[in-house]
A and B are shown apart, each in its own frame.
Chain A
């Protein structure tokens, strides 16, 4: 089955810096890659996703890149703000089946 690895497990940046979180997946059949943000004690919130027919997608300060050949995808947050502090999870799935999550990255943005 699918296995998703996520790095780093923790990331500390200064406000205004960029943050990059990387994930790799094992199943070449996976074609949907969402990123969720989870604040303490709250539900995972979808912040951006990418499908395998594109290589990059951007939404304001957040972007995701996908390299299908290498089976990895990354989340890029620019101009980080304290409210970006949370746990970020990547996930992979094939055509709407189960989401397989990475272990999460705790992002801390200090002002």
Chain B
């Protein structure tokens, strides 16, 4: 069964550095999402993306964040200048046309900002 994949699984970075988290959504899916989960807390929505543009974003998704679909398979989340509070697990999710509600999650990237 196809799954969403994410790389890297873990990333350690210094405060102020840029990071790019990568996701490969399920191949026939057209809706893409990023969520984050701070350790021990609930999953929080960051942004959704469809037809090469952001369709919705949360208050968390400020100017430090950006998303891109650079080619036909990858979907990336960039954090321009990381802060300590960006440390979290970042999940990518995708859903397909005709069943947009059902979102399938990737395994996550654990980001640690020192």
Contact = CB atoms under 8 A, between A and B. Distances in A.
A12 interface: no
A99 B45 contact: yes
B41 interface: yes
Contacts of A42: 107
Interface in A49-99: 49, 51, 89, 91, 93, 95-99
Interface residues of B, number: 23
A11 interface: no
Contacts of B56: 97-98
Contacts of B103: 34, 46, 99
Given A44-B43, A89-B42, A103-B42, A98 B48 contact: yes
Interface in B76-114: 91, 95, 100-108
B48 A97 contact: yes
Contacts, number: 54
A35 B102 CA distance: 11
B42 A104 contact: yes
Contacts of A49: 101-102
A46 B44 CA distance: 16
Given A96-B95, A98-B56, A98-B58, A46 B45 contact: no
Instruction: List the 6 shortest-distance A-B pairs measured between CB atoms, nearest first.
Output: A96-B100, A98-B45, A32-B101, A101-B43, A43-B105, A103-B42
21 contacts: A32-B101, A34-B101, A44-B105, A46-B102, A46-B105, A49-B101, A49-B102, A51-B101, A93-B101, A96-B100, A97-B56, A98-B48, A98-B58, A99-B33, A99-B35, A99-B43, A99-B45, A100-B45, A101-B44, A102-B42, A103-B41
Interface of B: 31, 33, 35, 41-45, 48, 55-56, 58, 91, 95, 100-108
